[in-house]
Amino acid sequence: MSPAAKRMRKQKETVMITNKELYKTAKNAASNAYAPYSGFKVGAALLTKEGNVFTGVNIENSSYPAGICAERSAFAAAISAGYREFKAIAVCSGSGSAWPCGVCRQFMFEFGENLRVISGEDEDHLEEYRICELLPKGFRL
């Protein structure tokens, strides 16, 4: 089979998910956030290369630095399930957009500089950036 035909077949096999759908999944997940200290609930939806979607939420702690952001929580779920390659992540808070913090940017950069990061005020006003745009010259060993 020619490379072009292979690509076509792969595209057909993979269920396409839009940015809007991914963002809505993040929004639904946000309701499960544990954020009693900040009251700022965040949800993330992470799309693997294979087409699976893993969600994550922020999980705060009375010892504040022990808390985890929604983005890293979604990555932890996906990586624990054996996934290593990712296409996109959508992030949503109660107030709409939630662009990843610096720690999450570096954390996500580890798994590929081309990850698409999606957020916005609502599902009709989404913006998208590559992680390498949000974290120029990210650290690598």
Given a contact cutoff of 8 angstroms between Cβ atoms, the answer to whether 128 and 18 are in contact is: no
Nearer to ligand THU, 60 or 123 (CB): 60
Nearer to ligand THU, 8 or 103 (CB): 103
Given a contact cutoff of 8 angstroms between Cβ atoms, the answer to whether 58 and 42 are in contact is: yes
Nearer to ligand THU, 42 or 118 (CB): 42
Given a contact cutoff of 8 angstroms between Cβ atoms, the answer to whether 41 and 33 are in contact is: yes
String of contacts with ligand THU for each residue 22-61, x by CB under 6 A = -------------x--x-x-x---------------x-x-
Nearer to ligand THU, 34 or 83 (CB): 34
Residue from the set 98, 108, 115, 118 that interacts with ligand THU by CB under 6 A? 98
Find the helix or strand (DSSP H, E) in which 11 lies: helix 3-13
Using alpha carbons, select from 92, 139, 86, 135 the residue that is nearest to residue 115: 86
Question: From residue 51, how far is each of 36, 80, 90 by CA, in Å?
Answer: 33, 16, 14
Question: Helix 70-80 and helix 19-30: axis angle, to 10°?
Answer: 100
Whether 127 is a known active-site residue: answer: no
Phi/psi of residue 39, nearest 5 degrees: 70, 10
Examine residue 91 and tell whether it contacts ligand THU (CB under 6 A). Answer: yes
Examine residue 100 and tell whether it contacts ligand THU (CB under 6 A). Answer: yes
- Which of 50, 71, 85, 127 is an active site residue? 71
* Binding residues for ligand THU (CB under 6 A): 35, 38, 40, 42, 58, 60, 67, 69-71, 91, 98, 100-101
Q: Which residues are catalytic?
A: 71
